[in-house]
Chain A
Amino acid sequence: MIPTLTTDRLILRAPVMEDAAPLAAYLQGPRSATVGGPFPAGEAFDRLCALLGHWNLRGYGRWIVADRDSNAALGIVGPYFPMDWPEPEIAWTVFDAAEGRGIAHEAALAARDYARAELGWHHPMSAISPSNTRSAALARRLGCTPEGDFTHPVYGRLDIWRHPEQEVRHGTS
């Protein structure tokens, strides 16, 4: 089962078919340039399927970040570890509507807490494209420090941002 997390404004939940449209708008738009886009139509469906499959293969994965009131998808956040990745990461992506509202920050904090408490990830990394300055700024805000880079066959150079080690917070949120 994919767990559901809630924060003040957000719900982190399993992907559903209804998320394909907002995901497609993001993937086909200019904001996906820092993650290899823009992508062709049809990519959103494959990604949605792969999000679910990741949970199955790894036992963890990324959630759809949705507005707590409307349930509308605002982004994708969570522990992420595809093949060919140097190590597991806490990944975040937010769609246009979520930009500039601290949505990614709020969701990444919840995801990081989950990864610490449930997966035992005490100081994971986040992989961020050097051109993605907003994402790098969020990494700093989350207390991350730069720690080298790696080159991925699909995404090119990605910077590694190391999360600070913190006490594991057990219990429910």
Chain B
Amino acid sequence: MGHRDIPVLETERLVLRGPEPQDYPDFKATFASYRSRFMGGPLNAYETWMLYAAEIGHWEIRGYGMWMVHLKETGETVGMAGGWFPAKWPEREIAWIIWPDKAGKGYALEAAHRVRRYFYEVRGWETAVSYIDPKNLDSIRLAERLGCRKDADAPSIDGSDAVYRHPTLAQLQGQLGHGIAMEIAHYRDPLFKPKGWALD
């Protein structure tokens, strides 16, 4: 299946691989939890499994999709990040979800920054957005740390979500990209403690 062609991406702390059957229990636990409230959840067992199947199928239908984010050191999964473009989406999204007990360590920042670079450099995307529930403050903060700006002119999915426009590849070349890289590097410092509210 085309699924096997999913590229493996690496960062300092993370390995991003295609979603596999054995990763399903971690996904299920998150979508059964309150954590999933901004992503259409919580879902029952049937809905969760179908969504996971759809995450895998998205790779074959679109040629890209959501990676499973693993810690390099232990192999355990901490969440998912990637490109997401179902039928109702006005344009291609860079999306992420981090398991509830893995939040606050900068994994979503590191993973989303990496997949964005892949889409820009390898797949030739010129722009991307993230659709975020206005109440999902952690995700909005993450979008801002990724350099996104709220795009009031862009169509949303159904009017209940805010559109955050990602910086272009050119915009990421300078100070903005350095700042993001520096923040990601901070998380590798065992003494680093993020300031402010809980961060993904």
> Which residues from chain A sit less than 8 Å from chain B, CB to CB?
1-2, 15-17, 20, 41-42, 44-57, 82-85, 152-154
Contacts and interface: CB of A to CB of B under 8 A. Distances in A.
Interface string B54-88: 11111011000000000000000000000000111
Nearest to B157: A42
B88 A53 contact: no
Interface in B37-66: 44-58, 60-61
A56 B44 contact: no
A98 B21 CA distance: 34
Please classify how large the interface on chain B is, using the bins under 10, 10 to 19, 20 to 34, 35 or more. Answer: 20 to 34
Contacts of B46: 82-85, 152-154
**Chain A interface mostly helix, strand, loop or mixed?**
helix
Contacts of A55: 1
Nearest to B56: A53
A52 B56 contact: yes
A84 B50 CA distance: 11
B3 interface: yes
Contacts of A15: 57
Contacts of B52: 53, 57
A15 B53 CA distance: 14
